[in-house]
C-alpha cells in the first residue's frame, strides 16, 4: 500500500508540492506568531496552524498568482481563528475537567462526614471532666499558649499542661470507644 501524505517530499501533484513549499516557507513564522498570540500553548498553536493550512488548501491559494499575497492572508486567517476560538470559549460555559463530578460528590460526602465526625467529637468532649474540657477550650480551641491559658483560668501553667495532656488522652480513648481510629 502506497500512502502519500499531503505536503510530504514524495508528493506527486503540483498542489501537494505547493502546500509543502508554502509550509516550509511560511510555517515557522506563522507558528511563532500564533504561539505568541496563544501565550505559549503549543497544542492549540499546532491546531491553528493546521487549520490555516487546510483553509489555504481548500481555497487553492497556494501560490502568489492572481496578485494575491499569500503570507498576509495566512496570518490574517490564523489571527481570525485565534479570535474565533477565544470568542467561542467566552460564549460557552466554562469547561470543567472530567473528574470534577467525582470531587463534587466527594465534597458532599465530606460535608456529611464532617458533620458526623463533629457529633462524635462533641460526644467525646462531653465525656471529659469539666476541668479537662476547660483546659482544652482555653488552649486548643481558643488558640492560646499554656501560659496564656493559665492566666485566663487562674491556675499554674504546669496544671494546664497536665490537664491538656490527660484531656487529650481521655479524648482519644473516648473516640476509640466510638469506633474512631
Q: What is the 3-state secondary structure of 32-90?
A: HHHHHHCCCCHHHHHHHHHHHHHHHHHHCCCCCHHHCCHHHHHHHHHHHHHHHHHHHHH
Predicted confidence at residue 125, as pLDDT, reads 87
Nearest to 33 by CA among 81, 69, 65, 67: 81
| Rounded-to-integer distance, Cα 128 and Cα 91, Å | 58
List the helix and strand counts (H, then E) for the chain: 7, 0
Sequence-ordered list of residues with C-beta below 8 angstroms from that of 125, at least 6 positions apart, any chain? 133, 136, 171
Predicted confidence at residue 4, as pLDDT, reads 45
Residue ranges in the chain whose pLDDT is less than 70:
1-12, 60-68, 94-110
Task: Count CA within 13 A, CB hemisphere, residue 91.
Answer: 6
| Rounded-to-integer distance, Cα 181 and Cα 171, Å | 12
Predicted confidence at residue 147, as pLDDT, reads 93
% of the chain residues with pLDDT over 90:
36
Amino acid at each position: 500500500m502506497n500512502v502519500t501524505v499531503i505536503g510530504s517530499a514524495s508528493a506527486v501533484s503540483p498542489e501537494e508540492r505547493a502546500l509543502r513549499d508554502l509550509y516550509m516557507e511560511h510555517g515557522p513564522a506563522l507558528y511563532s506568531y500564533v504561539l505568541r498570540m496563544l501565550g505559549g500553548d503549543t497544542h492549540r498553536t499546532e491546531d491553528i496552524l493546521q487549520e490555516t493550512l487546510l483553509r489555504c488548501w481548500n481555497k487553492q491559494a497556494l501560490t502568489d498568482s492572481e496578485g494575491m499575497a499569500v503570507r498576509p492572508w495566512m496570518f490574517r486567517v490564523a489571527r481570525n481563528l485565534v479570535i474565533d476560538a477565544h470568542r467561542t470559549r467566552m460564549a460557552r460555559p466554562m469547561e470543567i475537567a472530567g473528574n470534577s463530578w467525582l470531587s463534587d460528590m466527594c465534597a458532599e460526602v465530606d460535608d456529611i462526614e464532617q458533620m458526623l465526625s463533629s457529633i462524635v467529637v462533641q460526644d467525646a468532649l462531653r465525656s471529659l471532666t469539666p476541668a479537662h474540657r476547660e483546659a482544652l477550650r482555653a488552649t486548643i480551641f481558643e488558640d492560646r499558649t499554656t501560659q496564656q491559658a493559665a492566666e485566663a483560668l487562674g491556675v499554674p501553667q504546669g496544671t494546664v499542661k497536665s490537664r491538656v495532656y490527660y484531656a487529650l488522652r481521655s479524648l482519644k480513648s473516648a473516640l476509640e470507644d466510638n469506633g474512631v481510629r
